Amino acid sequence: MRTIITCLFLCYFSMNLLATTNKYRCIIRDNPSTTMTIGWNQVDGSNPMVYYDVIDHGTTTASYAFSHGVDRTTSRKGMDNQFARLTGLLPNTVYYFVIADNNSVSARFSFKTSPDIPTERLSFIAGGDSRNNRPARQNANQIVAKTRANAVMFGGDMTDNDSNGEWSDWFDDWQLTTAADGRMTPIIATRGNHEIFNSSISELFDTPNNSVYYAVTFGGDLYRAYTLNTMISVSGSQKTWLQNDLQANQQVCWKSVQYHHPMRPHVSSKAERNDMVNHWAPLFENYGVNYVVECDAHTVKTTYPIRTSSAPGSDEGFIRDDINGVVYVGEGCWGAPLRSNNDSKSWTKSGGSFNQVKWIFVSSDTIEIRTVRTDNANLVGSLADSNRFSMPTNIDVWTPAPGEDVVYIVKREGYPEAALTNPLDGQLFMSIQPILLEATASDSDGVVTQVNFYANGNWVGVDSTAPYSFLWTPPTSGQYVINAQAMDNDGKVTRSNNAVIDVYGNSVTTTSLVSQSSDDAEERISGNLSLTSSDLELVDDTGTGNLDQVIGIRFSAVNVPAGATITRAYIQFTADEIDTTTTNLTIKVEDTIQAATFVNTPNNITNRTTFGNISWGSIPAWNNVGAATANERTSDLTTLVQHIVNKGGWTLGNAMAFVLSGTGRRVAESFDGTGPAQLVIEYQNTGPAIGMVNVAINASTDDAEESFFGTTGTGSSDLELVNDGTNQKVGLRFNGLRIPPGATITNAYIQFTADETSSGGTALDIFIQDDVNPLTFSTAFNDISSRPTATGSVSWSPAPWTVVGAAGLDQRTPSLTTLVQQIVNKPAWASGNSMAFIIRGSGERTAEAIDGDVNGAARLVVHYTFAAPPPINPVLLDVGFCPGSMATLDGGSGFVHYYWDGNTSLGQGQQITTNTARTYILRAMDAWGQVTSDTALVTAYTAPSPVLGPDQNLNGGTVTFSTVLGYNSYWWNTGDTTPSITISTGGTYSVTVTDTNGCVGVDTVVAIPTILSSIHNKEVFLASKVQLYPNPAVNYVRLEMDLPEIHTIATVELYNALGQLVHQQVYDRNSETEIDLTNIEAGLYWVQVATSNDIILTQTLIIKK
């Protein structure tokens, strides 16, 4: 490798030995089909020029058909940077060029413009972070040269310290992107954090603006590539531009985005960019961005298609969605120091750590993304234009798993489009009421035949006619995930976006599960108990000789408040075997407000004091294994549950236990089988709205351990609480907590699952981080202990953990109500935020971590009540706009989200501007999730048209100019503010009027001095043969004449407003000349062009200074 690189540099050196230009680069900043910017460093010489042609003339400048000078010069990073912006080029065409100045000519280079039609395939190289490992950087540059891509999308951090010397080296290395035949690959440059200022990019790569965010479209409407800047505010003007541009380019087939900092880096020491997640990711999803290239972390990653979500199964705010998701790739590795990929997510497809670039093909129906290892670049063969979509010899395409060398993003041709427009994600309903489900749907190659609506995965309704809607009433209070599915005439189905809503009301349904092995038990005739059976024989266990045994079932967290009125209750079993035997059972409830789990002591079930005696007789046959229907459901247990809830001391979240006995046989699943029993309770709530969240750790970086020495780890398979040789600290972070602002916390706790048995004395203290939306944990030193905590803590001395896998009261913390309440009371708390807890102390209990058992990860359970304030309606005012202006609609303050005209994307502002006249609809969501709406009519006003009449001659006297009455205001260029003026001086006079709508109209008239009346009124011939421009003029006016031969010469005379001749000159009849105006004062002038035969032009000329 070293030999070949040396050879390339020698070639480059000899090529430029006599040149006074170097550090060449091609840049895309505009339409890549018809423009190209050539950049270079001017070392010496003057008057540089780019000579170019579609024919190769070598270094013979005179043979090139076109030439172009310098459009921009910047003195930056020790270089005299020159930029020539070539325009008017032919699409999909090779251009050859040289750069020549007064004493040198460069080597002959070439570039190829991109196609301007969407049927031509495109190729790109993407990546970034080339900082300080020059051999690795040079290798990646060689891959660029050998693949002949349409462009390089470079994601920033070109150098380490942004110094002059480093940039000089970088551009020297960049010459290796030029192929052996002189072909240059143009760059689309991005700013990274090692570029200290925007100008490091804008002045070295001539970006379209100094803010370094822009977009370029390739192949007609085939592909639009966005470049964003993570080093400035991601909201504000950058976000507004992005949203407007995405909205204006929805017809483009494919879209990608490149920027520097990753939203969710795959290196644990790198910071999370929640600002980008909040402001950019929803726009990517809502406007069809297909893939994103991220850099900065110096590691390798590819994700599955993902979208933002806090729903179950999400990880760090994203969830896999193969239909509506965006693919994220990255993260750097063009030559910067490599870092370990130690922060993968549940939606990470593949990851590694090696020098690499992304090689991307874009066609009308598919995007292909390959990860190319670059270390063997010297061994890789070179492609030509004719085969640049082939694999060159020895190309090292990374294959993380068999068949995964290419990431395919395929257009779902022929599939319908579907979008849920109502309800809105996060919407709150304070009562059980009919909810209008609405969706839009379309099909590009047929018709939509129906749209089906779903709630929590269950079909609730269908509509076959647009606009698609269905009026649905939730059966009970709770959280619902709503979506729609559109089907077309080919039977193809597309699922819409989700909306997660919360419904509160008087009727509440709660479900509790058997949560550990010792919570369902069988007591033999002998009195001995079985706590770990894979099924429950109800009650005849003839296979073991245990006739008519007694069954105990305990539910550790019954979410019913004290005093609630129970309207229905039952236990739902799942069939483990087929049984038709006549079976009659009775069910009792343990008569206590906090039932203990079962233990293996004789008669531990039958010795318990019980209440009631509910008959579950003539149980229907269980005909299907795995069934959980009404046949496998007990009789109504309302009286049993009501009795316990009415007892003094009952608290929401306490445990209930039931005892089943009788005759016959039905075999149900147990906790140690595959389907533990569920207790379903429906009750009426007469107090404030009641809610509950039950959220598990959902990311590796959300449970962490910090050692006594301050080192922090996030990938352990268990959590030592807290002794692991020395006493450590444990951090837990729970995401997506949909607790409304101002809620009253009635109970809160963390539920662990035992990973090991331990019985030694343990004393723990639980703190909560003093932050309304804390970041995930990292491997930074003291990452847990350095976090500020809120006031107070909760002490916990857990009982012995005697059973691995237990998740009962012994593994549950004391109430954390006071801690959680502090965070919810903060003004900045918002539903859907996160909370983090820190555990310190001494002793040892070992709990499952998410990396040990995702189903056993710690869970935060919070019960709360709240009363949302009365919703406030936005107030939209009807407005209008004048020609050439825009109308502004303002939804008013006091809301957290604004949704205009059916657009359900986040990030829309309080105001919108428009120049389209129609009715607009705003839906506004407050901090509690309540949605209200208003409409406004936008009217297009007509501009007033004042009429001053024809030009008039002064004839030695005065003239009065008037316009109609009735306008709000008048303003003449004389300073007058009346409907009419009387003047005595020649010149141009204008009036500006404003009507009641604030619209402005202007008219202008000329008062002709007496001495010029004869000129002004002369008949004009051949005016079309004379051109005088520009008008108004400043320093010169250009005269072009092309007169018939009868007119030999022409005299040009220039008169001022007083009729004085200020310029006279004779010109040839075919003249093309400029008249110097530098010594003529600003004002109104009359121009007469005459020949010996005719006056051929009279007109006014305005001169400005």
Question: pLDDT-derived band of residue 538, with 50, 70 and 90 as boundaries?
Answer: very high
Residue 121 CA to residue 361 CA, distance in Å, equals 7
- Which residues, in sequence order, are CB contacts of 387 under 8 Å at separation 6+? none
Whether 86 has a pLDDT exceeding 90, the answer reads yes
- For the chain, what percent of residues have pLDDT higher than 70? 96
Considering only 114-123, 420-429, 448-457, 1037-1046, which range has the smallest mean pLDDT?
A: 1037-1046
Provide the 8-state DSSP code for 929: S
- Which residues, in sequence order, are CB contacts of 996 under 8 Å at separation 6+? 968
pLDDT of 494 reads 85
β-pair partners for 1065: 1052
CA 127, chain centre distance (Å): 20
Question: pLDDT-derived band of residue 1069, with 50, 70 and 90 as boundaries?
Answer: low
How many CB atoms within 10 Å of residue 607? 10
* Average pLDDT rounded to a whole number, residues 421-438: 94
Query: Which contiguous run of DSSP H or E holds residue 105?
Result: none
Residue 632 CA to residue 535 CA, distance in Å, equals 14
pLDDT of 688 reads 84
Superfamily covering domain 417-505 = Immunoglobulins (2.60.40.10)
Whether 14 has a pLDDT exceeding 80, the answer reads no
Give the model confidence (pLDDT) of 893-914 as tens digits.
999 999 999 888 777 889 999 9
Contact 667, 576 (CB under 8 A): yes
Give the model confidence (pLDDT) of 312-369 as tens digits.
778 899 999 888 899 999 999 999 999 989 899 999 999 999 999 999 999 988 999 9
pLDDT of 1 reads 30
Give the model confidence (pLDDT) of 356-395 as tens digits.
999 999 998 899 999 999 999 999 999 999 999 999 999 9
pLDDT of 5 reads 36
Whether 1047 has a pLDDT exceeding 80, the answer reads no
Whether 12 has a pLDDT exceeding 70, the answer reads no
- For the chain, what percent of residues have pLDDT higher than 90? 68
Whether 297 has a pLDDT exceeding 70, the answer reads yes
Class of domain 1018-1103: mainly beta
Name which of 669, 678, 679, 677 is nearest 575 in CA terms: 669
Residue count of the chain = 1105
Residue 56 CA to residue 277 CA, distance in Å, equals 49
pTM value is 0.57
Instruction: Rank 29-38, 451-460, 686-695 by mean pLDDT and report only the highest.
Output: 29-38
What residues does each domain of the chain span?
2-410, 417-505, 509-684, 691-866, 879-940, 952-1008, 1018-1103
pLDDT of 19 reads 65
Superfamily covering domain 2-410 = Metallo-dependent phosphatases (3.60.21.10)
Contact 1020, 1097 (CB under 8 A): yes
- Which residues, in sequence order, are CB contacts of 614 under 8 Å at separation 6+? 586, 587, 588, 634, 635, 636, 637, 639, 640
Give the model confidence (pLDDT) of 657-710 as tens digits.
999 999 999 999 999 887 789 999 999 887 788 888 989 997 778 999 999 999
Whether 786 has a pLDDT exceeding 80, the answer reads yes
* Average pLDDT rounded to a whole number, residues 95-111: 96
Considering only 686-695, 726-735, 824-833, which range has the smallest mean pLDDT?
A: 686-695
Provide the 8-state DSSP code for 966: -
417-505 and 1018-1103: same fold? Answer: yes
Q: Look at phi and psi of residue 47 and say left if phi exceeds 0, alpha if psi is from -120 to 50, else beta.
A: left
- Which residues, in sequence order, are CB contacts of 562 under 8 Å at separation 6+? 645, 650, 651, 652
pLDDT of 547 reads 72
Give the model confidence (pLDDT) of 490-512 as tens digits.
888 888 888 889 998 888 888 89
Q: Which residue has the higher pLDDT, 809 or 281?
A: 281
How many CB atoms within 10 Å of residue 271? 12
pLDDT of 300 reads 95
Name which of 835, 559, 564, 852 is nearest 716 in CA terms: 852
* Average pLDDT rounded to a whole number, residues 1013-1034: 67
pLDDT of 840 reads 97
Per-chain mean pLDDT for the chain = 90
Considering only 209-223, 625-639, 835-849, 1003-1017, which range has the smallest mean pLDDT?
A: 1003-1017
Contact 349, 304 (CB under 8 A): yes
pLDDT of 16 reads 44
Residue-wise over 943-964: b if at least 16 C-beta within 10 A, else e?
ebebebeebbbbeeeebebebe
Per DSSP, helices labelled H in 249-381 are 274-279, 281-286
What token pair was written down for 736?
């997506």
* Average pLDDT rounded to a whole number, residues 210-229: 96
* Average pLDDT rounded to a whole number, residues 435-456: 94
Give the model confidence (pLDDT) of 965-975 as tens digits.
999 999 999 99
